[in-house]
Amino acid sequence: MSSDSFQRQLVQRTNTLNSSIDNATLTILSRFQDILDIAINEGKDKYTVAPEVYQIECHTVSMVRAVEQLLDVSRQIKSYWLTNSLSTSFPTVDYSEPDLEKVKRTLTKLQNHLLEVSLIEPEASETTEAPTVSDT
């Protein structure tokens, strides 16, 4: 990955997060204002108050969703910092490798990635010939 592409991705992520924060904040403030505009019940009959109750409920739900959006943004940021501390290296398999033992070891590492399994390789058995006694 080139440096310019990496920087572009960082800027794009920052813009996306800021956009989410701005949208949620704007929603919270506008819905709060809408609720306060119709909160007072003095001088109103029941036919006016009844639909306003539903309006207040809708605005309240919208505020709650905006707050949940802010929680989601904070969760995303938290996950970025947490994954920054972890290693994301991953073994790759080169299928053009002619050495089958090497391919086998790579596949075993791939299968046991992050499982903390120690690889035990069998020791090469040494064949020793018994000394022959020649008759004189």
Partner 1 sequence: MTNSDDDLFSEKSTSSDTQQVQNILELEAKIPDILSSAGKCIEAIQLNNSLEDFRKYSKEFLETVEFISTGLRRQALELEKAEVPVVSLQPKKRYASTPLSNLIFDQSSKLM
Kindly list the residues in this chain that would bind partner 1 in the complex (CB under 8 A): 6, 9-11, 13-14, 17-18, 21-22, 25, 28-29, 32, 35-36, 39-41, 63-64, 67, 70-71, 73-88, 90, 95, 98, 100, 103-104, 107-108, 110-111, 113-114
- Give the contacts of 59 (CB within 8 A, at least 6 positions apart): 31, 34, 35
Q: Which of 84, 68, 78, 57 is nearest to 20 (CA)?
A: 68
Give min distance, CB of 123 to partner 1, in A.
20
Give min distance, CB of 121 to partner 1, in A.
14
Query: DSSP string spanning 38-60?
Result: T---TT--HHHHHHHHHHHHHHH
Give min distance, CB of 3 to partner 1, in A.
10
Euclidean distance between CA atoms 67 and 124, whole angstroms: 64
**For partner 1, the closer CB: 42 or 135:** 42
